[in-house]
């Protein structure tokens, strides 16, 4: 099947007690590891490409890698998503590149500007049959070009940065956005918190009441597994005090509330880096990239399989495919163009 939008996935996830893993990709090994894990667990998935990934890898290469994954696993429901898009021009480029979902992030703009920018993107994307994610509220931490609030400041005054439920309802009504990333106490990067996180579950519940049926998204949701931090530090790294979101809290958010999508990026980087460091440190004569990238890829497979069970989405692929067929979702504009070419 071709790439689909996230709508068939979210239609089932909202009331089904699960969320779709949205995994950031930057190269072949990361993409292969994610897709292999999801195929093994029969899980739908979202492959995210950030502005930084486009700059690093060249979209043409990334798109062909993803096309290869689709060909290798034709029965697996896959969406390709722009992560943290910041301009209408970038969104338009991504639509032409075959994305089936886009995010426009105006969360750091004044509220009215966020509304205006998001509404403009929704109009453009919907004309191409593509869904839109936006963000309301501010997260902590740093990830690529996305700069949030410093961890210590975020933890001290977290309430003022969380998504306002009534503002969320107004935002949804005025923009027509398809899903909304909300601030509930998560944070970007590996150094998310000074102390163990406690997500604002009550705030998710309030947003669900003011925005019934709107799929919610969790950004900054990597758990920063201790095993990877320990390996990195053991073999020459320097990552003291790295701390992520406890997985039991993520599991609660996706099984009891309307969180339909959970972003995971940092954990992928940690898994790959930890294994590469281990191989190069324990086998100093090694120079063949296949012999350290291969173990890194396997670490990603193992980690992603685990995450799919945290998100409760393992085994949901077939149901999503049935929902996609039931909706009769049209092919994205990109595929229509390709067919005519």
Q: Which residues are catalytic?
A: 83
Query: Cα-Cα-Cα-Cα dihedral of 34, 38, 40, 42, to 10°?
Result: -170
Distance CA 240, CA 258 (A): 34
Give the span between the Cα atoms of 202 and 184, in whole angstroms. Answer: 9
What tokens were used for 5? 């939008």
**Cα 249 from Cα 196, distance rounded (Å):** 11
Helices and strands in the chain: count of H runs, count of E runs: 15, 11
Chain centroid to CA 82 = 9
Range 223-229, long-range pairs (CB < 8 A, 24+ positions): 223/247, 223/250, 223/267, 224/190, 224/192, 224/266, 224/267, 224/270, 225/267, 225/270, 225/271, 225/303, 227/274, 228/267, 228/270, 228/271, 228/273, 228/274, 228/299, 229/190, 229/270, 229/274
Number of Cα atoms under 13 Å in the Cβ half of residue 291: 10
- CA dihedral sign of residues 16, 17, 23, 29: negative
Q: Is 323 in contact with 12 (CB distance < 8 Å)? A: yes
């Amino acid at each position: 099947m071709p790439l689909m939008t996230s709508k068939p996935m979210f239609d089932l996830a909202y009331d089904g007690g699960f969320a779709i893993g949205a995994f950031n990709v930057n190269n072949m090994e990361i993409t292969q590891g994610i897709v292999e894990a999801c195929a093994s667990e029969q899980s739908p998935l979202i492959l995210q490409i950030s502005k930084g990934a486009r700059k690093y890898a060249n979209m043409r290469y990334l798109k062909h890698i993803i096309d290869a994954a689709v060909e290798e696993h034709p029965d697996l429901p896959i969406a390709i998503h722009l992560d943290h898009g910041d301009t209408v021009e970038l969104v338009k480029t991504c639509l032409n590149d075959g994305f089936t979902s886009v995010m426009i992030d105006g969360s750091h703009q004044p509220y009215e500007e966020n509304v205006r920018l998001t509404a403009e993107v929704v109009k453009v994307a919907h004309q191409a049959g593509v869904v839109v994610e936006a963000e309301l509220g501010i997260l902590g931490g740093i990830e690529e070009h996305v700069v949030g609030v410093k961890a210590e400041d975020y933890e001290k005054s977290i309430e003022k940065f969380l998504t306002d439920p009534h503002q969320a309802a107004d935002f949804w009504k005025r923009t027509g956005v398809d899903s909304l990333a909300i601030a509930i106490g998560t944070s970007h990067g590996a150094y998310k918190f000074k102390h163990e996180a406690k997500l604002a579950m009550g705030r998710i519940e309030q947003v669900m009441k003011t925005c019934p049926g709107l799929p919610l998204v969790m950004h900054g949701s990597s758990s920063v597994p201790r095993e990877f931090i320990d390996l990195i530090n053991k073999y020459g790294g320097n990552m003291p005090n790295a701390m992520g979101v406890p997985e039991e809290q993520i599991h609660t958010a996706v099984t009891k509330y309307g969180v339909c999508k959970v972003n995971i990026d940092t954990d992928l980087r940690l898994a790959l880096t930890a294994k590469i460091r281990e191989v190069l440190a324990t086998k100093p004569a090694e120079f063949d990239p296949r012999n350290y990238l291969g173990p890194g890829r396997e670490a990603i497979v193992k980690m992603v399989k685990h995450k799919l069970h945290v998100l409760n989405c393992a085994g949901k692929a077939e149901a999503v495919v049935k929902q996609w067929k039931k909706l009769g979702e049209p092919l994205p504009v990109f595929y229509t163009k390709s067919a005519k070419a």
